Structure formats: C-alpha cells, structure tokens
C-alpha cells in the first residue's frame, strides 16, 4: 500500500455507515486523501485485517503509514497534524 506512506488513505466498503460518515466529514476539510474499497482490492482487505485484529473493520485510515481503526474525524486530523502537517496546507 505505497500510497499510504506519505499521505492519508481511507479504507472503506460499500454500505458501511461509519465509512460514509467519516468520508462526508472529511469532505469539509482541506485534507487530500485517497480512498480504497476493500471489497474491490484484496490486498487492501488483507492490510485492514492485519491492523484490525483479523477483522475487516472499516473505516481504517492510514496517515503517513500509521494505521487507525475506525477513527473519528478529529483523530484523523490530529494524526495528520502530528505526522504529516504538510497535507493540511
């Protein structure tokens, strides 16, 4: 998952209300991020399982390669400020 090394990646799946909530809230920020549907990307699904105790818990978000399982908007933005502040510019 090379795109997650420097930026923000939101792993999601269709029909997940938590994913839709987080993605909607992130749209109101200046944050640039990539989305990956784990139902269409087996490698992404395996990555999510590896950081979520074997479960496909979404949303899972990486910020500069650091994974967070089901984070709030606030937690994502705090992680960006700490690990990749250039993404908020």
pTM (two decimals): 0.92
User: CB of 11 within 8 A of CB of 61?
Assistant: yes
- pLDDT computed for residue 88 by the predictor: 84
- CATH fold group of domain 2-88: Glutaredoxin (3.40.30)
Question: What whole-number percentage of the chain has pLDDT above 70?
Answer: 93
**For 33-40, what is the mean pLDDT?**
97
User: CB of 71 within 8 A of CB of 61?
Assistant: yes
pLDDT tens for each residue of 46-57: 999 999 999 999
What's the distance, CA 41 to chain centroid? Answer: 14
């Amino acid at each position: 998952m090379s795109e997650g090394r420097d930026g923000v990646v939101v792993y999601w799946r269709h029909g997940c209300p938590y994913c839709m909530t987080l993605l909607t809230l992130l749209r109101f920020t200046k944050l640039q991020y990539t989305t990956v549907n784990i139902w269409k990307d087996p490698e992404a699904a395996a990555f999510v399982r590896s950081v979520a105790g074997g479960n496909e818990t979404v949303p899972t978000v990486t910020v500069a390669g650091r994974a967070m399982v089901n984070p709030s908007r606030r937690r994502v933005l705090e992680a960006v400020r700490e690990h990749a502040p250039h993404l908020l510019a």
